[in-house]
Amino acid sequence: DAGITQSPRHKVTETGTPVTLRCHQTENHRYMYWYRQDPGHGLRLIHYSYGVKDTDKGEVSDGYSVSRSKTEDFLLTLESATSSQTSVYFCAITDSGRGGVHNEQFFGPGTRLTVL
C-alpha cells in the first residue's frame, strides 16, 4: 500500500470555524491532490500541488485553501466552514510521469467532515 495517511479521520465542527485537514505521504511523490466526495457527484478536485509551494485550483476550490511547505505534507484549510462543506475528503498522490496523469493515483483513507 502507498504510504499515505490523512488526519483527522473524522471531524465534527460548527459553521464559521476554521478547519485544517492534513495529508501525509512517505512516497516522495511530486503530485498531491485534495478531492471531495458527495452523492451524485463522484470525486471532485478541490486543489492540487505539483511541488513544494506549487499549487493550483480544481473545479470546486471556492472556500478552500491549501499549502505545501514540505514534499510529504499537503494541508487543506476551510477558512470558515459552512454546512455545504460537509463531505468526505480524499487525498491522493501520484508520481511525476508525463504531467502527472500517466500514472495511477493512490488514495488516502479519507476524512469525514461534518459541519453543523
Partner 1 sequence: ILNVEQSPQSLHVQEGDSTNFTCSFPSSNFYALHWYRWETAKSPEALFVMTLNGDEKKKGRISATLNTKEGYSYLYIKGSQPEDSATYLCAFGTGTASKLTFGTGTRLQVTL
Residues in touch with partner 1 (CB under 8 A):
31, 33, 35, 40-45, 48, 50, 56, 58-59, 90, 98-110
CB 3 within 8 A of CB 108: no
Nearest to 95 by CA among 27, 45, 26, 43: 27
Neighbours of 16 (CB within 10 A): 10
Residue closer to partner 1 by CB (options 63, 110) is 110
Question: 75 or 91, CB closer to partner 1?
Answer: 91
Rg for the chain, CA atoms, rounded: 13
Task: Name the minimum Å distance from CB 105 to partner 1.
Answer: 7
Q: Which residue has the cell 512516497?
A: 27
Best CA proximity match to 21, nearest among 90, 76, 82, 85: 76
Q: Is the N-terminal amide bond of 109 cis, ω within 30° of 0?
A: no
In angstroms, what is the minimal distance from the CB of 13 to partner 1?
A: 22
Least distance to partner 1, CB of residue 63, Å = 17
CB 14 → partner 1: shortest distance, Å? 26
